[in-house]
Amino acid sequence: MLTEGKLVRDLIPEIIRANGAEPEVYVADPVEYRRRLREKLGEEVSEYMEADETNAPEELADVLEVAYALAADHGVDPAQLEKIRVAKARERSGFAERIVWTGNR
C-alpha cells in the first residue's frame, strides 16, 4: 500500500472497484493538487523518455493530459493554451527545422 499516494486519473477508483478491490482515496486540496500535478508531469515525461517508438505517442498523450490539467488549474482552457502556443511560435517559431545551438562566437 502506498503511504503517500499519487495523483491518478478520475476513473481509476472505478476500475479498481471493477477488479474487486476497494481503493483508499481522498480529494487533494488546491495546493496539494497543483504540487501533485507537477510531480505527475515529471513522471509522465520520464515515462515518455523511456518509451520505445511504439509506445512513445501514448506516453506523449499522457504528458499532454497532465499539461491540460495544469493549464486548467491556472485558469487556462485547451483553446487558450493553444493560442499561447501559437503566439510563441509566431514570435520564435517551433522546432521543425531541428536547429541545435552550440553557443556564440
What pTM does this model have? Answer: 0.86
Compute the distance between CA of residue 42 and CA of residue 53 in angstroms, rounded to an integer. 20
Burial class (CB in 10 A: 0-12, 13-18, 19+), 38: middle
Distance CA 68, CA 24 (A): 26
Which cell goes with 100? Answer: 541545435
How does pLDDT run across 7-22, given as a tens digit for each residue?
Answer: 999 999 999 999 999 9
Domain ranges across the chain: 12-92
- Burial class from Cβ neighbours inside 10 Å (0-12, 13-18, 19+) for residue 33 reads middle
pLDDT digits (tens, 9 = 90+) for 17-60: 999 999 999 999 999 999 999 999 999 999 999 999 999 999 99
